[in-house]
Amino acid sequence: MTQTSTNDNYAESQDINFGILIKALQGLTMFRPMAILSISLFIGFVALLILGRIGSSVGGVGAALFAFLGALLFAAFTGAGYLGAGFSLSAVVQGRETPGISPSILFGIYTLPRLIGLILIEMLILVGLLIVEVILIEICRIPILGGLLSLIVFPGLFVINVALTAMFLVAVNLSGPALWFGETVSNALGHVVAVAKSRPGPVFFVLLLLFLLYLVVGAILAGLATYAASFTGGLVIGGMGGAVQSAVDSFSGLMSMAQFPMGNSYYNSMGYMGYHPSFNSSLYVYSLLIVAAAFFVVVVAIPNTVLQLGLAYLYDDSTRLVDKEAGNAMVGKVMQKMGSAAEAARRKAEEATQQARQHAQNMADKSRRSVDEKVSPESAAGKTSFCKQCGATLDLDEKFCGECGTPTVR
């Protein structure tokens, strides 16, 4: 009976839940996660734009530094928006009250270091596995025996790498959803490892379908938004003529400046604005910026909400079908071994440092004693000399022997 129950649980864990795709399409009607991601992206883009303008005015190395800082802030706000939108969608999956926009964005900012740390740990694990594979390949360089081993190692590595790639993609794509549900880094790692180990095939297949759904929805919305933008642009330019055309030129200068802050695009865009300094001309540029943001929301934020909702359902469904405690235990053992290795390395480093300090101290003391022996009056007084003629004892300041009168030679 127990064996039958175990087989049924295993069979259920390997089932593919196509209902996740239908549930994911509900994201098309969830405007709060779209707003969270859009606001975060807009703030990050404004930071990128402003720092790019400052860097263009500074020039040189300063421009590169400001460009890097702008790109860093854009990536940070993008990550915060991704986590905040996922936090809002996780409430939908769990049937909780959906949090507001501000709390979700704050959650994303607070959780961003966890996401970075989780991905870094997963990358370190992957690097460790690659090191093992490199060692196996080096063993295959041994004459005769290495060639025989290669018949097993090379095909085995290919199969293992296929499985590792699928498991790695599963773990990385479910890392964010694990944090959306409020998991700590260790628990999130344990859960995604348990899913990647127990259900790599079904989860990977659903991931492919979700990304395909994302591309299809994105392509449809991109076509719709492009037609709407061209139709609206034709109406505006046809009605307002050159006034809007100059704003388009200024807007293009701003966009290229944001991409290449070390160039002259900023000065070109300012030159365009200088020819149309009126109040309306300035507002037209910001109107185009809002249009570009709206286009981005339609093309990116809406299909991304569909994808994130599908990932949230996939994580929730998968973690209910695997042994999460076993994953936590395995990760705990790995972290404990890593901690023990790090502690041992730290102790050895401290011992080596202490030995180096002691050796340096001993050398310094030895050198100091040698110098003291050379210049110390006591050591000089302690030396006894005798007369070469009669053998009598001579004092340090005597020039002639007190017994025979023979001159002393120093």
Q: What is the rounded radius of gyration, in angstroms, for the C-alpha atoms of the chain?
A: 37
Q: Which of 65-74, 204-213, 349-358 has the lowest mean pLDDT?
A: 349-358
Cα separation, 226 vs 107, whole angstroms: 33
Query: Does residue 63 sit within a domain?
Result: yes
Domain count, the chain: 1
Q: Which residues contact 336 (CB under 8 A, 6 or more apart)?
A: none
In this prediction, residues 305-330 reach a mean pLDDT of: 78
What does the DSSP 8-state code read for residue 385? E
Q: Domain of residue 181: give its range.
A: 20-322
Query: Does residue 4 sit within a domain?
Result: no
- Kindly report the average pLDDT of the chain as a whole number: 75
In this prediction, residues 359-375 reach a mean pLDDT of: 63
CB 122 within 8 A of CB 174: no
Query: Does residue 6 sit within a domain?
Result: no
Query: What phi, psi does 383 have (nearest 5°)?
Result: -80, 130
pLDDT digits 0-9 by tens, 301-311: 889 999 999 99
pLDDT at 255: 53
Cα separation, 81 vs 205, whole angstroms: 26
pTM, two decimal places: 0.66
Query: Does residue 204 sit within a domain?
Result: yes
pLDDT digits 0-9 by tens, 22-55: 999 998 888 899 889 888 888 887 788 778 777 7
pLDDT at 185 over 90: no
Here the contacts of 104-108 (C-beta below 8 Å, separation 24 or greater) are: 104/32, 104/33, 104/36, 105/36, 105/39, 105/40, 105/80, 105/81, 107/83, 108/36, 108/40, 108/79, 108/80, 108/81, 108/82, 108/83, 108/84
Query: Does residue 146 sit within a domain?
Result: yes
pLDDT at 188 over 70: yes
Query: Does residue 203 sit within a domain?
Result: yes
Query: Does residue 12 sit within a domain?
Result: no
Query: Does residue 207 sit within a domain?
Result: yes
pLDDT confidence bin for 274, thresholds 50/70/90? very low
In this prediction, residues 383-405 reach a mean pLDDT of: 68
